[in-house]
């Protein structure tokens, strides 16, 4: 459909009769409505991964649409340069387009995520590509409205994703930004930070459980896994490293082995079952988990129902305290 529209438009078909113009407008309207419906049906905006990277394919579709239009208007150039000049300019153009196409993938090299997810983080090159293709289409169709139409869809899509993902459903927050109304007063390092009611209750309950275990400021806390913010919010000190990552056992073990453990109780916050390899590392440095630890309690993790499923397997946070070491 896009090829037919572009080809007919480039050849001036729409100028023949008023009826043809109406047909083109109807086809364009149906195409836009169908695209909007698919965005709604796929629930495109309701995931940081854009519903299995559907957003990545949306940008691919936009670029493919522009390429189809360029192919349809290929023989409607407005100027005829010298043959050698045309070859040189075409080569420069293709090299530039090739670099812009490759930029998101080059930026994603080294990721452990699906590469199409990380290309979305570095997709700025594709916005430039869309702009350049729009300029080429504008040149060939000789229409002053083409460029605006070419950049309207990606601009609206990108703006909608940013607003939705940063304001209404922020990544890794339990509620929207307007719901962050409760101001934290302690610890001093985060005083003034605003959170939602569920997060405020979670922090208060976790602090209460630690107090029952005679927790004091700057006591040792190990947060397993991917939860350095819990150590900060409880005003504790993380042994070895602030960040113990799931599945990175060699790194975690090196951090534990390098830690200087003084005669002070060690607390463990577990967002999920602790790996056997992590347990072995703990025992190697003298922390005989779980036999020399007592579970103080566990609380519901409000982030398990948010974060777009990133913490779906972490519905609870369990709190453990080392036995036999009295607090100061």
Across 157-166, 171-180, 263-272, the highest mean pLDDT is recorded for 263-272
Nearest to 302 by CA among 271, 273, 274, 275: 271
pLDDT of residue 79: 47
pLDDT of residue 50: 47
Positions of E strands within the chain: 182-183, 194-195, 220-224, 237-238, 266-270, 293-300, 316-322
Contact 133, 67 (CB under 8 A): yes
pLDDT at 86 over 60: no
What is the pTM for the complete model shown? 0.63
pLDDT of residue 56: 76
pLDDT band with cut points at 50, 70 and 90 for residue 48: very low
- Tokens 């480039």 correspond to what residue? 10
pLDDT band with cut points at 50, 70 and 90 for residue 51: very low
pLDDT of residue 190: 83
- Per-residue model confidence as pLDDT tens digits over 140-175: 777 778 888 888 888 887 887 778 778 887 777 778
Calculate mean pLDDT across residues 54-81: 71
Residue 298's alpha-carbon distances to 52, 270, 313, in angstroms, are 32, 9, 15
Q: How far apart are the first and last CA of the chain?
A: 76
pLDDT at 194 over 80: yes
Contact 227, 301 (CB under 8 A): no
pLDDT band with cut points at 50, 70 and 90 for residue 118: confident
Across 24-28, 86-90, 115-119, 283-287, the highest mean pLDDT is recorded for 283-287
pLDDT band with cut points at 50, 70 and 90 for residue 69: confident
- Per-residue model confidence as pLDDT tens digits over 299-312: 998 888 765 667 77
- Per-residue model confidence as pLDDT tens digits over 220-255: 999 998 888 899 999 899 988 888 988 888 888 988
Domain ranges for the chain: 2-168, 177-322
pLDDT at 19 over 70: no
**pLDDT above 90 as % of the chain:** 17
Contact 123, 104 (CB under 8 A): yes
DSSP run (H or E) holding 83: helix 83-107
Contact 322, 267 (CB under 8 A): yes
Nearest to 5 by CA among 132, 104, 106, 146: 146
Contacts of 112 (CB under 8 A, 6+ apart): none
pLDDT band with cut points at 50, 70 and 90 for residue 124: confident
pLDDT band with cut points at 50, 70 and 90 for residue 1: low
CA-to-CA distance for 141 and 208, rounded, in angstroms? Answer: 69
Mean residue pLDDT of the chain comes to 78
Q: pLDDT higher for 68 or 326?
A: 68
Across 89-93, 99-103, 186-190, 288-292, the highest mean pLDDT is recorded for 288-292
pLDDT band with cut points at 50, 70 and 90 for residue 63: confident
């Amino acid at each position: 459909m896009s090829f037919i529209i572009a080809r007919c438009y480039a050849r001036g078909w729409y100028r023949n009769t008023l009826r043809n113009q109406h047909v083109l407008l109807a086809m364009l309207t149906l195409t836009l409505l169908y695209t909007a419906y698919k965005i709604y049906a796929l629930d495109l905006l309701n995931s940081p991964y854009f519903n299995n990277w559907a957003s990545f394919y949306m940008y691919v579709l936009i670029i493919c649409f522009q390429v189809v239009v360029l192919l349809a208007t290929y023989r409607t150039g407005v100027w005829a340069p010298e043959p050698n000049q045309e070859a040189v300019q075409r080569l420069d153009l293709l090299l530039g387009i090739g670099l812009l196409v490759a930029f998101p993938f080059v930026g994603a090299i080294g990721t452990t995520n699906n590469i199409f997810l990380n290309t979305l983080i570095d997709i700025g090159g594709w916005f430039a590509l869309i702009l350049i293709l729009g300029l080429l289409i504008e040149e060939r169709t000789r229409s002053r409205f083409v460029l605006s139409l070419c950049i309207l869809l990606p601009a609206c899509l990108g703006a909608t994703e940013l607003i939705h993902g940063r304001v209404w459903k922020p990544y890794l927050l339990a509620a929207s930004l307007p719901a962050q109304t409760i101001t934290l007063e302690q610890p001093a390092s985060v005083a003034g930070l605003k959170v939602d009611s569920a997060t405020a209750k979670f922090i208060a309950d976790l602090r209460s459980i630690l107090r029952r275990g005679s927790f004091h400021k700057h006591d040792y806390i190990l947060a397993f896994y991917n939860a350095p913010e819990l150590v900060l919010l409880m005003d504790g000190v993380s042994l070895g490293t602030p960040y113990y990552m799931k599945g990175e056992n060699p790194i975690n073990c090196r951090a534990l082995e390098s830690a200087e453990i003084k005669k002070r109780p060690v607390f463990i916050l577990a967002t999920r079952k602790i790996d056997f390899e992590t347990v072995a590392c703990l025992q190697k440095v003298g922390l005989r988990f779980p036999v020399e630890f007592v579970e103080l309690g566990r609380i519901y993790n409000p982030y398990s129902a948010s974060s777009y499923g990133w913490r779906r397997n972490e519905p609870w946070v369990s709190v453990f305290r080392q036995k036999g070491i009295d607090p100061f």
